[in-house]
Amino acid sequence: MLDARAPQTETSVLLNIVLRWSFTTALLGTSCASAAISFFPSPDYAKYPARDSDEVDVLMGAENPRCQYVEVGTIDYDPAMDGVPTGSKRAMKGVRREAGKRGASGIYKVEYVRGVMGEMGVKAMAYRCLR
């Protein structure tokens, strides 16, 4: 049976792959792919009302929360699972969004992790102030 399509060159095959990949990552990467975020609840974890990610404080270095608090859990942003090139701002945005979903007041013990391809991941502990 004859194929009515034009013969595919190496360039057209490569272009087809790039276009499909671009379309897929555009769909997945619009707001940090959920597969890139992992949440590991602390033993004392309780469900708290969600809050906006802009309300989640970020404490860097050895800084600790300035309130009595409970640890909500560890949030891990794995850039390899995101599907798009990830910088530190995108990774932090994803971690803050997840912390907000969990009702955290903030995150601390923040660690940046560089991936094999230079992308950035973030691991942090979410906490909730008791007062």
Q: pLDDT tens digit string along 72-89?
A: 999 999 888 877 667 788
Residue 49 lies in a domain: yes
CA nearest neighbour of 29 among 39, 19, 21: 21
Angle at CA of residue 125, ends 121 and 128, nearest 5°: 140
In whole angstroms, give the CA distance from residue 106 to residue 83: 26
What is the structure's pLDDT at 24?
A: 43
Residue 11 lies in a domain: no
Domain count, the chain: 1
Residue 25 lies in a domain: no
Residue 63 lies in a domain: yes
The range of the structural domain enclosing residue 40 comes to: 32-129
pTM above 0.85, yes or no: no
Residue 9 lies in a domain: no
Mean pLDDT across the stretch 5-11? Answer: 64
